Amino acid sequence: MRSLEGVAESPLSTVLNLTLQEEKYNLNAKGGKSFTKLTHGRSYIMISYYGCLWLVSLLNLAWCSLQAWECTPEKAVAWNVLSLFTTSGMLFLEVSLVAFLLQGNYASGLEALTRTFVVSGLIIGLDLLLKVIYLFGFGVPLFIDNNDQSHRVKWGLWVVHKLVLTAVYGFILFMYHSKWRERLPARPAFYKYITIMCCLNALALFACGLTGNGAGFGFWLYGLTMIFYHAFYLPLLYITFLADFFQEEDLHLENVYYSEMKDAGFFDADWE
């Protein structure tokens, strides 16, 4: 995402476009089957997360496909608005899942969904308000990434942003290794998700700190973390949470069918 003279798109844009095409294909491949299961299911949390995932995926696909806007001064406002909605949507998913995890084994039903969305909405609303103030009020180019270290305020804001996320994920990792681990869902997939996100945000925090101090390597590292985040975060959510949910639904349906057939006497001949 560099602003180069005479270049419409950057290598980062090309990588993101190719990866997001693969992401779109993978989500479409299972979309119909998953949608059918959700419409017949009763999990409000999973239905809501699945809907949010698809909405944010479309925003993320548009964001990655329109990278040329970042290098076009006439499209600066449109690019900033699109970036605001895309990053806020992805952050909403992050915060929602963290709020869901911190509710532990009691996170189920409509009440848990309401608490999760209220807390997430308040946090994202505050984050969005601060970004709008700095972006349009003070003219800080939060979403225009170039190798210009003069915007120390911008990189300072991103350091604070990544520091908060790293601290939250680090705290949850600490809980997994403490006496409070029983409060968290006993699933290895959740632990792996938290570990991946903690490492990614810690790496982004390190990159923002280096870039703010004038290190060119930091800017390259920051761009690399952006590629991984926008290209792989949404598929990671699906694999970690929704895929397991659909597998459990399949197992549940198989058990129901087996019980009904057993009650109807289909297996009586096996015992004779």
Supply the pLDDT for residue 257: 41
Query: What interhelical angle do 216-237 and 44-65 show, nearest 10?
Result: 140
C-alpha 136/C-alpha 141 separation (Å) is: 9
C-alpha 174/C-alpha 228 separation (Å) is: 24
In this predicted structure, the answer to whether residue 47 has a pLDDT above a threshold of 80 is: no
Residue 204 lies in a domain: yes
Residue 98 lies in a domain: yes
Residue 252 lies in a domain: no
Side-chain half-sphere CA neighbours of 95 within 13 A: 21
Residue 169 lies in a domain: yes
What own/partner pairs with CB < 8 Å and gap ≥ 24 does 36-42 have? 37/246, 37/249, 41/249
Domain that holds residue 129: 11-243
How many separate domains does the chain show?
A: 1
Residue with tokens 């998953």: 34
C-alpha 1/C-alpha 57 separation (Å) is: 20
pTM strictly above 0.85:
no
Query: Span 75-82, mean pLDDT?
Result: 94
| List of residues 6+ apart from 49 with CB closer than 8 A | 93, 96, 97, 237, 241, 242
Residue 141 lies in a domain: yes
Q: Which residue has the higher pLDDT, 202 or 115?
A: 202
Structure confidence by residue, pLDDT tens digits, 217-250? 999 999 999 999 999 998 888 888 766 554 544 4
C-alpha 94/C-alpha 130 separation (Å) is: 18
Structure confidence by residue, pLDDT tens digits, 144-195? 887 666 688 999 999 999 999 999 999 999 988 888 887 787 778 888 899 9
The mean pLDDT of the chain is 77
Please give the share of the chain, as a percent, with pLDDT higher than 70. 67
Supply the pLDDT for residue 96: 87
Side-chain half-sphere CA neighbours of 15 within 13 A: 14
Query: Span 48-73, mean pLDDT?
Result: 89
